Structure 1
Amino acid sequence: MVEWALAVLRIAHTPDPDDAYMFYGLVSGAVRVQGFDRVEDIVEDIETLNRRIVEEGWDIEVSAASAHAYAYMADRYYVMVAGASMGEGYGPVVVSRRHMSSLEGARVAVPGRYTTARLLLRLATGGGYREVFARFDRIPDMVLRGEVDAGLLIHEAQLTYHEMGLVKVLDLWEWWSSVAPGLPMPLGVDVVSKRLGAEAARAVREALQESIRYAWSHHEEALRYASRFARSGSMEQLSRFVRMYVNERTLDMGPEGRRAHRLLYEMAWDEKLIPELVEPEFV
């Protein structure tokens, strides 16, 4: 008998194509989670999920979260070694309508207080700019309209900003690869509540890995599902984006991924950008 059995396992993920793609097997019912009768999916943007867990104390069983936000919930959640979004050769970028030699004094739109992109930008630059918090999908238009001087882009806009007439000011992958050579860049994670216990948490992680494999083996089907959540770009660009962020590192971040997360928290703690030094617990 499975002691942790519950009728429903709630899984919260973002309306981002890579998340939708990797969770497709679970959401469609093609993949089952041992010990649970069914899955209920909850779809919210990443900063809403971050804030609900960090600020409201939301006790969701499984959720997508920013790696930055995990520093504020580490006492309540495990990090799954599966499902992480990690940049390798690409990552968040700062863009503007014109070339800028510095962000000093600039108004920069950032996609939320707890996003990892925000933390990385602060680490990379030391600050000196004025943050304007905005929903991530509004940022390109804010830059185009001149409401801000620059914007920090995540998700598909990383690939399509040049088509909007925007220019790159800072590439955070280039910065990360200079300070953490050989390591992938932590961005997003999937977390599972410690109240379920380690055994159930591992069962959830194994099911997520199976869901990722299912999406790979049913790529067109999973991509059509993910396309419902796309905000811009062609199906070809969507497929490229999904393959960028749902890869072998997503299936298991490996020892390099674990080291990268530990390094991120060490760097953030050294700059006093997180409340305490975090030692992530992986399942």
Structure 2
Amino acid sequence: MDQRLTFAHSPCPNDTFTFHAWSHGLLPGAPALEVTLADIDVTNGLAERGGTDLLKISYAALPHVLDRYALLPCGGALGRGCGPLVLTRPEDGPDAFAPARLAGRTVAVPGDRSTAYLLFRLWAARAVPGGVGEVVVLPFAEIMPAVRDGRVDAGLVIHEARFTYPRYGLHRLVDLGAAWEADTGRPIPLGAIVARRDLGAQTLRAAHRAAAASVRFAWRRPAASAAYVRAHAQEMAPEVVEQHIGLYVNGYTAELGEDGYGAVRELLGRAAAEGLLPPVAPGALDFPGA
């Protein structure tokens, strides 16, 4: 296929590992890619503007773009034991680690359209009487230092911070993924791969096949992507990179399946019921290239 598609996804190890084979032309017959690496808050904005063919976005941003983009049934990030964390500084006192301590406090988050923030809002609505105080959006890399240095009271973190927060002397107030799983029994929907609907069914099917093939290639030949992954994860120790990939690249990355779609519907349905997201129309999550 001669068609070249534009694709924007994060430089995180799970994405560079997953899409290395496709982006480097290692999949015969797959559409060629022109890749842009950008943080998730940037790709969420790109989706709203609609200029990029394929994007990795937050599931929390999905309802806002479903008129222009279709959910690809693979390539995204769902899983168990991989949710965002709320971190605080250790403090003395009987209520030091109670969720209620966030009432009226300042919380740093990595984006106000992120799935992590959506999960936080769903949790805080029940766990924090009176609600939190100011919410400050900071770049992901600045959140843990801001909590450590007392510039904010708590921080919402994602990805490799699950493994590195003890280095900052921080306390895990709540694992939002564990809270979600305990409440719903479902995996956590974090990041979605979407494709422009006007690409047409044939191209959408080709993109689906290529994304799924890229995941399988990555699992069969993990060494092939190692240099590429490391080049875009320069601040991560090798063992953290390995943990990151092992946690976020899983069976749901290869294919959402019934369980994955059920988790997505659960998250978006709960958020709509709380007035946090617009409702998703029946059939809007169906893949038009099926």
**What CA distance in whole angstroms lies between the structure 1 residues aligned with 2:62 and 2:190?**
11
1:94 equivalent to 2:93? Answer no
Q: Please give the alpha-carbon distance, in whole angstroms, between the structure 2 residues aligned to 1:174 and 1:245.
A: 15
* Structure 2 residue aligned with 1:200: 203
Q: In the alignment, which residue of structure 1 is the partner of 2:187?
A: 184
Matching residue of 2:116 = 117
Match in the other structure for 1:51: 45
The number of residues matched between the two structures is: 274
Relative to 1, partners in 2 of residues 1:39 and 1:229: Cα closer, same or farther, differing over 3 Å? same
Question: Does the 8 Å contact 2:78/2:191 carry over to 1?
Answer: yes
**Cα pair distance change 1:32/1:191, threshold 3 Å:** farther
Give the aligned partner of residue 261 of structure 1.
Answer: 264
Which of residues 9, 17, 23 in structure 2 aligns to 1:13?
A: 9
Equivalent AA in structure 2 for residue 222 of structure 1: S
Q: Are the equivalent residues in 2 in contact too, given 1:13–1:19 (CA < 8 A)?
A: yes
Shift of 1:147: 1.2
Q: Which aligned segments of 4 or more residues in structure 1 are displaced greater than 4 angstroms?
A: none
Q: Which residue of 1 aligns with 2:93?
A: none
Shift of 1:15: 1.2
Alignment of 1:108-187 (within 5 A): 108-126=107-125, 128-129=131-132, 130-181=134-185, 183-187=186-190
In the superposition, relative to structure 1, how do residues 33 and 169 fare at CA in structure 2: closer, same or farther (>3 Å)? farther
In the superposition, relative to structure 1, how do residues 33 and 11 fare at CA in structure 2: closer, same or farther (>3 Å)? farther
Q: State the Cα distance separating 1:231 from its structure 2 match.
A: 5.2
Against the structure 1 CA distance between its residues 236 and 33, is the aligned structure 2 distance closer, same or farther, given a 3 Å change threshold? same
Residue-by-residue CA offset, 1:161-216 (whole Å, 9 max, x unaligned): 112211101110121012211x1110001101100122311210110111111111
CA distance in 1, matches of 2:264, 2:28: 29
Tell me if structure 2 keeps the 8 A contact 1:223–1:239: no
Pair 1:227-2:230 in alignment: yes
Deviations 1:123-147 (CA, angstroms, capped at 9, x unpaired)? 0111711211111122111111211
Where does the alignment leave 5 or more consecutive residues of structure 2 unmatched?
A: 91-95
Provide the residue aligned with 1:215 in structure 2. 218
Separation of aligned partners in 1, 2:225 and 2:207: 20
TM-score (ref. length: structure 1): 0.92
Amino acid at match of 2:58: S
Q: CA RMSD in A?
A: 1.7
Specify which of 58, 78, 97 is matched with residue 70 of structure 2.
78
Distance 2:53 2:269 in 1: 27
Q: How many angstroms apart in 2 are the aligned matches of 1:187 and 1:146?
A: 28
In structure 2, the CA distance between the partners of 1:215 and 1:153, relative to structure 1 (3 Å rule), is same
C-alpha distance in 2, partners of 1:261/1:230?
Answer: 28
TM-score, length of structure 2 as denominator length = 0.89
**Structure 1 match to 2:286:** 281
Instruction: Name whichever of 249-258 and 217-226 sits farther off.
Output: 217-226
SS at match of 1:71: helix
One-letter code aligned to 2:88? S
